[in-house]
Amino acid sequence: MDYLPVFLALRGRPCLVVGGGSVAARKIALLLRAQATITVLARRAGSEVAALAAEGRLILRERTFAPADVTGYAFVIAATDDAAVNAEIARAADAQGILVNVVDQPADSTAIMPSIVDRSPVVVAIGTGGKAPVLARMLRARLESLIPPAYGELASLLGGLRERVKAALPDATARRRFWEDVLDGPIAELFFAGRRAQAAAAIETLLTSSKTAPRRRGEVYLIGTGPGDPDLLTFRALRLMQIADVIVHDRLVGDDILELCRRDADRIYVGKARSRHAVRQEDINTLLAREASAGRRVARLKGGDPFTFGRGGEEIEHLTEAGIDFQVVPGITAALGCAAYAGIPLTHRDHAHACLFVTAHLKDGELMLDWASLVRPRQTLVVYMGMSGLPALVDGLRAAGMADEMPVAIVERGTTSAQRVLSATLTPVASRAAAEDYGSPAIIIIGSVVRLRDKLRWC
Ligand code: SAH
């Protein structure tokens, strides 16, 4: 290790920044966050620094640097645009034993500044010894996505509880288990989901029950994984996928999304095996409850959004009855993903003021739909699960008065690398789809917005 990471306590302590341009301003912003008392020495201050001086947030001295200027400071930052001057500042500070950072000149610095993820009081610092700042920024971006913004607030809440927990749980192992249970389970998730009061109440309950050794409670995450492209996962989906002990998935969730789950998690497939039936919904419900009751964190992955034709409602009804904690993570539903990736806006001032999502699953060879509501003017219709009943759908829409030349698009495997889009009009769409072998999963988009695709297609 070339550098020792430390966190400097600078609150109210005198810090010197030499330089008054935008580079200096970025460093000043960090020192302000650390509540340092800042003096800026610059031949001429730029507008940002001048504005901070005018607000009284720092002391500005407009003159050239002299080595004696560093005396009395706890920390010095050299941020002028002259490398020789910066090196001189560094020598002057070092001669007095003062830590000095020279922006972009690690060789002259006795302190280098890391990339940070600030969830105060939680702060993550990433250093590459000044060798690869871009890599540090990339890692930071990843961590930003993994560490929920509410972590800082949670840490503050827990900080306030430390003394009480210490008093209630004198045994260090019991204490450690208590904190682990709070931070890595339903309580933290309640907190991140914005249910602060429930989280606080659950902490109290846990504190009481922890006097005897607690057992981790399991829970179910009902996660919408979007229509296929893994890049469309939400941060929360990804985070929960990476902590779950068990992954329950079906046919709509692709391998590239499963790849992102925790490596050592158990995987249970509940979709249709080739030519066989899918696991029955009741059995899935039972399975989820059983795994969670055994203390495991179960990620139930659903294509698209769990509450949009996803039977998510049924699964959580069962969990509620079984008294099992759960949370629902919304996902990008197929209609939205497919429309975007096919270049078809679902609403448009000149074409459609409303958009209707329906499912057109054949029941005993028939479609049970409210046809009149599907053919309203200035409305886009998006049909899920409509491929096997496509000829019946077209017949029904025509019978209800939809024009033969109404534009229709079929988006198959939308947002994935295998996406195909068929653009047609109502009358010939079913035979063209059959001729070109279109099949499930596909979304059918019906409405004059489909015409915009020629202008807006981008992938
Ligand atoms: N909960 C899911 C829908 C499940 S129903 C969601 O919100 O998207 C299954 C239907 O979704 C499929 O029959 C198909 O109509 C549609 N679908 C799901 N993924 C799709 C994709 N990548 N491309 C096109 N249609 C998709």
Q: Domain total for the chain?
A: 4
The pLDDT of residue 334 is 98
The pLDDT of residue 366 is 87
Residue 254 in contact with ligand 1 by CB distance below 6 A: no
Tokens read off for 288: 């989820």
The Cα 247–Cα 217 span in angstroms is 17
pLDDT, tens digit only, all 459 positions of the chain: 889 999 999 999 999 999 999 999 999 999 999 999 999 999 999 999 999 999 999 999 999 999 999 999 999 999 999 999 999 999 999 999 999 999 999 999 999 999 999 999 999 999 998 788 889 888 998 888 888 888 888 888 888 889 989 998 888 777 877 887 888 778 888 888 888 899 989 888 888 887 765 556 789 999 999 999 999 999 999 989 998 999 999 888 999 999 999 888 999 999 876 556 778 889 999 999 999 999 899 999 999 999 999 988 889 999 999 999 999 999 999 999 999 999 999 999 999 999 999 999 888 888 989 999 999 999 999 999 999 999 999 999 999 999 999 999 999 999 999 999 999 999 999 999 999 999 999 999 999 999 999 888 887
Residue 308 in contact with ligand 1 by CB distance below 6 A: yes
The pLDDT of residue 257 is 96
The pLDDT of residue 184 is 77
User: Directed axis angle between helix 151-159 and helix 172-183, to 10°?
Assistant: 150
From the number of C-beta atoms within 10 Å of its C-beta (0-12, 13-18, 19+), residue 153 rates as middle
Tokens read off for 260: 């992102």
Cα of 334 from ligand 1 centre, angstroms: 5
Cα of 315 from ligand 1 centre, angstroms: 18
End-to-end CA distance of the chain: 46
The Cα 109–Cα 93 span in angstroms is 10
Residue 309 in contact with ligand 1 by CB distance below 6 A: yes
**Residue 245: CB atoms within 10 Å:** 18
The pLDDT of residue 274 is 54
Instruction: Kindly report the protein residue whose alpha carbon is nearest to atom 11 of ligand 1.
Output: 384
Residue type, 47: S
- Is residue 158 domain-shared with residue 79, that is, in the same domain? no
Residue 27 in contact with ligand 1 by CB distance below 6 A: no
The Cα 339–Cα 304 span in angstroms is 13
Domain assignment present for residue 261? The answer is: yes
- Is residue 298 domain-shared with residue 231, that is, in the same domain? yes
Residue 226 in contact with ligand 1 by CB distance below 6 A: no
Residue after which a domain boundary falls, among 113, 133, 162: 113
The pLDDT of residue 212 is 65
Supply the range of the domain harboring residue 206. 150-212
- Is residue 303 domain-shared with residue 357, that is, in the same domain? no
Residue 237 maps to which CATH number? 3.40.1010.10
Domain assignment present for residue 74? The answer is: yes
Cα of 228 from ligand 1 centre, angstroms: 9
- Is residue 248 domain-shared with residue 203, that is, in the same domain? no
The pLDDT of residue 369 is 94
Residue after which a domain boundary falls, among 332, 365, 382: 332
- Is residue 162 domain-shared with residue 109, that is, in the same domain? no
Q: Which residues are catalytic?
A: 250, 272
pTM exceeds 0.85 for this model: no
Instruction: Kindly report the protein residue whose alpha carbon is nearest to atom 13 of ligand 1.
Output: 385
Residue 49 maps to which CATH number? 3.40.50.720
Calculate ∠ Cα 177-181-183, nearest 5°: 115
Residue type, 288: L
